[in-house]
């Protein structure tokens, strides 16, 4: 009898323990996701970690920051960088900058888009429509390189995911321009920036204090503009982040309820064995 009890109770306890550790693991994985960063070696780019509102299980984008970030992209970055994968109509989506449809129509029209060919076989320029993707500032790579001393400004659609450090990396590059330390060999036409791999970058410092006016009265420092445009580019690269976080949270609740049910069912089943 005694030995029988032993064999019954031990799998029961280990089952409970497995459930508990599973729940803890799931919680940890969801809570930590997006916050882990690998340790930095001495010669790697200097990247400052920002406490973004979209990090963590309950993280969401800040609509006002996305609107300011759009303005920074439009007035500054769009002179050199394309944003091929984003369409104007995306700017009205919930979870994004959430502009009204009338606002999106108006802001799309401030861009010139190449369309055609017309009946004569010629391409022509027209104001942008909500269904258009953001147009590229240069007709082709060669034109961009010719205008920018040989350097190519990359498309920014997925930059917040592709760049080392993600949105932190974008913010750090935009705020990272400094005088090169004595003895540093800066190549012609490049700018010293320890946030960029190799500490020199072809992009001239794009932001200066007070450059972009914010309608909501937020101070337009370089740091603020850099944060807002980085958040905007994070949204561009991952527009469904908010929904993903909500989904993660629902899965967590579901797993919790399921674990609880399993626990009581298991207890009941084993209690009947007495």
Contact residues toward ligand HEC (CB under 6 A) are: 72, 76-77, 79-81, 148, 151, 153-154, 159, 163, 170, 173-174, 201-204, 206-207, 229
Least distance CB 113 / ligand HEC (angstroms) = 20
- Nearest CB to ligand HEC, comparing residues 66 and 203: 203
Q: Give the residue carrying structure tokens 């060669």.
A: 142
Cα–Cα distance for residue pair 252/246, rounded to 1 Å? 10
**Best CA proximity match to 174, nearest among 48, 272, 54:** 48
Q: Report whether 212 contacts 225 (CB < 8 A).
A: yes
- Nearest CB to ligand HEC, comparing residues 194 and 245: 194
Least distance CB 47 / ligand HEC (angstroms) = 12
- Nearest CB to ligand HEC, comparing residues 19 and 202: 202
- Nearest CB to ligand HEC, comparing residues 86 and 207: 207
**Best CA proximity match to 206, nearest among 168, 158, 170:** 170
Q: Give the residue carrying structure tokens 């629902």.
A: 250
Least distance CB 68 / ligand HEC (angstroms) = 12
- Nearest CB to ligand HEC, comparing residues 77 and 104: 77
CA angle 22, 23, 25 (to 5 degrees): 65
Least distance CB 88 / ligand HEC (angstroms) = 18
Least distance CB 42 / ligand HEC (angstroms) = 20
Give the N- to C-terminal CA distance of the chain in Å, as an integer: 11
Cα–Cα distance for residue pair 7/130, rounded to 1 Å? 68
Half-sphere exposure of residue 202, counting CA atoms within 13 Å on the CB side?
11
């Amino acid at each position: 009898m005694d030995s029988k009890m032993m064999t019954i109770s031990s799998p029961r306890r280990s089952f409970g323990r497995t459930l508990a550790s599973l729940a803890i693991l799931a919680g940890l994985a969801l809570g930590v996701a997006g916050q882990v960063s690998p340790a930095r070696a001495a010669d790697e780019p200097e990247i400052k970690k920002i406490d973004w509102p979209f990090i963590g299980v309950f993280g969401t984008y800040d609509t006002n920051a996305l609107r300011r970030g759009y303005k920074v992209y439009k007035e500054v970055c769009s002179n050199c960088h394309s944003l091929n994968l984003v369409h104007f109509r995306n700017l009205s989506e919930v979870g994004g900058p959430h502009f009204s449809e009338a606002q999106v129509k108006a802001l799309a029209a401030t861009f010139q888009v190449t369309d055609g060919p017309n009946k004569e076989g010629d391409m022509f320029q027209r104001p942008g429509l909500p269904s258009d993707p953001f147009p590229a500032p240069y007709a082709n790579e060669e034109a961009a390189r010719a205008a920018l001393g040989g350097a190519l400004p990359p498309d920014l659609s997925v930059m917040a995911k592709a760049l080392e450090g993600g949105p932190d990396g974008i913010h750090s590059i935009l705020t990272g321009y400094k005088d090169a330390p004595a003895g540093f060999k800066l190549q012609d036409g490049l700018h010293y920036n320890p946030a960029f791999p190799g500490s020199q970058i072809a992009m001239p410092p794009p932001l200066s204090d007070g450059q972009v006016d914010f309608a909501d009265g937020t101070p337009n420092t370089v740091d603020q503009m850099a944060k807002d445009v980085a958040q905007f580019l994070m949204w561009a690269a991952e527009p469904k982040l908010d929904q993903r976080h909500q989904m993660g949270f629902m899965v967590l609740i579901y797993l919790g309820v399921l674990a609880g049910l399993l626990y009581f069912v298991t207890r009941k089943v084993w209690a009947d064995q007495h």
